[in-house]
């Protein structure tokens, strides 16, 4: 399989984007996690050959719009995620969590019909190949604490702050999402 590869600078660091010739997004990861991106592409699609090629303006514009505050801009992007049936269910549910909202791993497990599988949900989140667009950053611990994010907790915190997912009326949320927390 041959796919296009490009980089894009963002407020959360340099991002790596992988698409096919139809502009379906196969991977969005952070440059400092490039080995993981290659590992996930190989896991889901086998022998993938990446060639440098400019990513479609539509994808770049959607990302720019998201970072400029249009939180629904990424909803229009087509993604290919690979993965198991369970992972696909989790990732589909992730895309249904509105910007500005969060969901616990347990609640997400309920939504996919596996109420005792919160750890498996966490593992599926960690194997998500299309960060931000498939918004695993919107999943938090049952206590409201930030837990696990493949791009690092600082990025998760930034993304949630950007989406205004923090309830300004509840000091405990402000404390959990502060720069010094976690």
Q: pLDDT of 107-116, one tens digit each?
A: 999 999 999 9
Q: Is the pLDDT of residue 138 over 90?
A: yes
Residues 6+ apart with CB under 8 A from 66: 73, 74, 132
Residue for token digits 């990732």? 91
Q: What is the pLDDT of residue 169?
A: 42
Out of 11-25, 56-70, 137-151, least confident range: 137-151
Catalytic residue among 136, 140, 160, 165: 136
The dihedral built from the CA positions of residue 180, 122, 92 and 82, taken in this order, carries a sign that is positive
The ranges assigned to domains in the chain are 2-68, 85-163
Average pLDDT, the chain: 90
* b/e sequence 49-87, b meaning 16+ C-beta within 10 Å: ebeeeebbeebeebbeebbeeebebbeebebbbbbeebb
Q: What is the pLDDT of residue 179?
A: 52
Reduce the DSSP state of residue 2 to 3 states and report it.
Answer: strand
Q: Is the pLDDT of residue 75 over 80?
A: yes
d(CA 135, CA 161): 14
% of the chain surpassing 90 pLDDT: 83
| Catalytic annotation present for 170 | no
- In the CATH scheme, what architecture does the domain 85-163 have? Orthogonal Bundle (1.10)
pLDDT (mean) for 39-59 = 95
pLDDT (mean) for 83-107 = 95
| pLDDT tens-digit readout, 155-168 | 999 999 999 875 55
| pLDDT tens-digit readout, 57-67 | 999 999 999 99
Q: Which two tokens stand for residue 14?
A: 């340099």
Reduce the DSSP state of residue 170 to 3 states and report it.
Answer: coil
d(CA 160, CA 169): 16
d(CA 126, CA 152): 11
Please tell me which residue, 166 or 12, carries the higher pLDDT value.
12
Residues 6+ apart with CB under 8 A from 97: 103, 135, 138, 139
Out of 22-26, 140-144, 166-170, least confident range: 166-170
Expressed in percent and rounded to 5, the helix, strand and coil fractions of the chain are 40, 15, 45
């Amino acid at each position: 399989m041959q796919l296009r590869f490009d980089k894009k600078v963002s407020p959360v660091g340099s991002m790596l984007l992988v698409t096919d010739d139809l502009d379906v997004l196969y991977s969005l990861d952070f440059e400092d996690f490039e080995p993981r991106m290659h590992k996930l592409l190989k896991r889901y699609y086998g022998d993938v050959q990446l060639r440098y090629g400019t990513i479609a303006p539509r994808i770049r514009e959607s990302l720019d719009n998201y970072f400029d505050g249009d939180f629904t801009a990424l909803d229009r992007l087509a993604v290919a995620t690979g993965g198991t049936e369970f992972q696909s269910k989790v990732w589909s549910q992730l895309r249904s969590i509105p910007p500005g909202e969060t969901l616990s791993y347990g609640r997400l497990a309920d939504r996919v019909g596996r109420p005792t599988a919160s750890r498996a949900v966490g593992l599926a989140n960690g194997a998500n190949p299309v960060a931000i667009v498939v918004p695993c950053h919107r999943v938090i611990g049952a206590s409201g604490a930030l837990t696990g994010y493949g791009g690092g907790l600082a990025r998760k915190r930034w993304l949630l702050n950007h989406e205004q997912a923090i309830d300004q009326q509840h000091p405990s949320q402000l404390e959990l999402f502060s720069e010094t927390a976690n």
